[in-house]
Amino acid sequence: METMKEETPVPVYELTAETIGFLFRIRHDSGKPFAVHTKMKPYDNRVMIQLLKERAGFMQQAKDDFDAWDVKDGSVVAGREFFDAHKVEVSLNGTVLTDEQFEKLDARYNIRDATIEHGYNGIHRVLADPEEELKKLDVDDILGDTTIRMNFSLTDEKGQEQTVIIEHAFDYPNAMDSLAYERAQIQQGLRAGGFRVAYNHEALNTLYNKKIQAVLGLVINGQPCTKANKDEWVDLVPYLMKRAALNFMFTRAERATRGNG
């Protein structure tokens, strides 16, 4: 008789969670790696937008990679204040650090900025195999392909790192949406290559809220985020996820029109 195997639950991001965790593996001078676990409070989108404004002008897009960003030092004070206001605890190789111990760790390894830029902002697009995807496409898929897949690394209640796959399903953008997206950012070329981007974060937040229909991988009180309950979850989606999803969607649309989709 064949034994039924228990299915491993698919990791999800609970929008009403009081704490979230990020795991960083850092190499010591001796060459040995060690683990830093930062347990943090989720941010209010208004607070994150204010932080981004204070760090404005320091988001430089990499010269040869349209989806990669080289994050320059912004307002050090703003970043420290944001981290300290959201920190629950920091542990090193499983030992919770005192404030004095954390300050020593941060002075050497810049844990505050790492948590903001590679924790809260550690969002990456999931790229599918183009050849395999092409075999599956029919006309409806091509005309209505507005789902953006991203991954986001968190830790579970045991402190184990998990990758959450998040799929943002958008209503297909029209010309006015594209114009609104373009107007929400100002690009400035740099002599060294690449460019800086100044964002109208409120406009991008509004555009996302207008176009999003459902999000797979995010849940609210254990329930999926669908069109039917959109009013309950749309304002709770972390702003950095919103901005990344919009960027990936409109970038893909632009590439497609150039024949480089």
The pLDDT value recorded for residue 195 is: 62
Rounded Cα distance between 237 and 218, Å, is 8
Asked whether 18 and 41 are in contact (CB, 8 A), the reply is: yes
pLDDT tens for the chain, 261 residues: list them. Answer: 455 555 667 899 999 999 999 999 988 878 788 899 999 999 999 999 999 888 765 445 544 444 444 445 456 678 899 999 999 999 999 999 999 999 999 999 999 999 999 999 999 988 655 555 555 555 444 445 578 999 999 998 888 899 999 999 999 888 899 999 999 987 766 666 556 677 899 999 999 999 999 999 999 999 999 999 999 999 999 999 999 999 988 876 565 555 444
First to last CA, the chain: 49
Q: Is 209:227 a contact under the CB 8 Å cutoff?
A: no
Q: Give yes or no for a contact between 179 and 49, defined as CB atoms under 8 angstroms apart.
A: no
Q: What letter would DSSP give residue 164?
A: E
Question: Which pLDDT does position 56 carry in this prediction?
Answer: 65
**Residue 41 contacts residue 88 (beta carbons within 8 Å):** yes
- pLDDT at residue 190, as a whole number: 62
CA–CA distance, 133 with 183 (Å, rounded to integer): 32
